[in-house]
Amino acid sequence: MRLRNRNPRFQSLVALRFVAAASCLLSLACGRSSPSSLQEAWDWRNRPEIFSADYQKKFAQLPLKGTSIKPWSDSYWPSRAAGIASRWNGSWPDDQFTFPLLTKEEIKQKSLRELAALSPAEKYDIFVGNEDYPMVHHERSRTSPNRPGWEGLCHGWAPASVNFKEPNPVIVENDEGIKVPFGSSDIKGLLALLQGNYYTGRTRFLGGRCNQNISAHPERALDPECKDVNAGTFHLVLTNEIGIREKPFMMDVTRDFEVWNHPVFQYQSRVVTEQEPSREAAPGTVKEVIVATDVTYGAETFPQWERLEDEDSNVKLYVSYQYRLELDQEGEIIGGEWLDLPRPDFLWAQDPAEFVGIFSKLKKIYDASLAAAPGLKNPAFESEPSSDAASSTSTESGPSTTDSTGVSSGSNEATTSSESPMIPPVITVAP
């Protein structure tokens, strides 16, 4: 994750990275977390107040189901495929890390069809007017073909998919009169990089990262650091954020060393039974409630030219959890324990990243995409290069007045697989 590009345009980005160091647990650069003696009562890393100080904690007052803003799907821009410096729209280069970059004179001679096939990073550099391609070189230095397949920008895509409206494809003209076609996923990828690596606000983070390979060593699931977020804290966040406030949040859906951050937007719970306090229940427990909960979250897909606004296009997955909640004499949740192996590793939330520094012109592209009418055809697959000025949208357009993301309630199970490095392996989570 070290930035080796010395271009002065990126010096400010280096500084932003250090400011954002508090969120490093979410990304590839995550360090090993210190062990936690998680018992049934939550410890300092699992206090619900980290998310909010005014949660409703009485179990009887918490909704058993809820739905929030639905996220949009996109690639997680894997590191082994050069991140957002990857050309995805059309033919794939043999090597995503070494293909030659266009000179300004070559760019001026290219058709919209040829420009549409460039990577998100190339398009942004061209739009900004950076002839030396600092964004591309930054991505090529940040990533490597030798990285594990699960590493990428999921820590950027997940919060971006709920913090920003889903962009339309758009053709924008830069200050030199060059028209640059951006697909929906081009803009999504840039938003993911901005949100994931250059967010400077506060990250609300609950739980601790498990760094053990549980698949190879199942006994390590009992390690303190792999007990993960407290079940009582999880239920409070889920029911308050989604059920009451209708706000999504992020969670790492795998409990071992791999990190798969996903936006949670829907749940449904049911009470299985009630019982007397267990021997190791939190102090003050007078009753326990066994709860089964189905959680629905947004998932990755291939990069797309069009926005995925219909119900079947955006991908969603689900996982089932079972846990017990410990209630005090006021009926408030004061602790909890997981009763089966599936459980989230950690929970987190962020506000939208700001369009600052080198990303300041991304706001113009984003705003133009929201103002653009949907349905712009993909120039990369047009039989003739298109130069119709009517298809171009000025970057000075105002913000969209349409509603936010029109997204998914498609299949509950993603079964897509591909040899392409731009799609993640299917994650199987046992119910």
pLDDT for 8: 40
Of 407 and 112, which is predicted with more confidence? 112
pLDDT at 306: 94
Determine the pLDDT at residue 109: 96
What is the predicted pLDDT for the residue at 234? Answer: 95
What are the pLDDT digits (tens) for 17-40? 333 333 444 554 333 233 333 345
CA-wise closest residue to 186 among 135, 241, 145: 135
Query: What tens digit of pLDDT does each residue of 143-156 get?
Result: 999 998 889 999 99
What is the percentage of the chain residues whose pLDDT exceeds 90?
62
**Where in the chain are the domains?**
8-391
Model pLDDT, residue 3 = 31
What average pLDDT does the chain have? 80
Mean pLDDT (whole number) for 102-127:
97
pLDDT band at 429, cuts 50/70/90?
very low
pLDDT of residue 346: 87
pLDDT band at 426 (very low <50, low <70, confident <90, very high): very low
pLDDT band at 382 (very low <50, low <70, confident <90, very high): confident
pLDDT at position 91 is 77
What confidence score (pLDDT) does residue 368 get?
A: 98
How do residues 217-235 score in pLDDT, each as one tens digit?
Answer: 555 555 656 556 899 999 9
Return the higher-pLDDT residue of 169 and 30. 169
pLDDT in tens, 69-98: 999 999 999 999 999 999 999 878 889 999
pLDDT tens-digit profile of 285-304? 999 999 999 999 999 999 99
Pairing of strands 333-338, 346-349: unpaired
pTM beyond cutoff 0.85: no
Report the alpha-carbon distance of residue 88 to residue 106 in Å, rounded.
20
pLDDT tens digits for 299-353?
999 999 999 876 566 788 999 999 999 999 999 999 999 998 788 888 999 999 9
- Spatial separation of the C-alpha atoms in residues 113 and 391, rounded to whole Å: 13
Residue at token pair 């998310």: 51
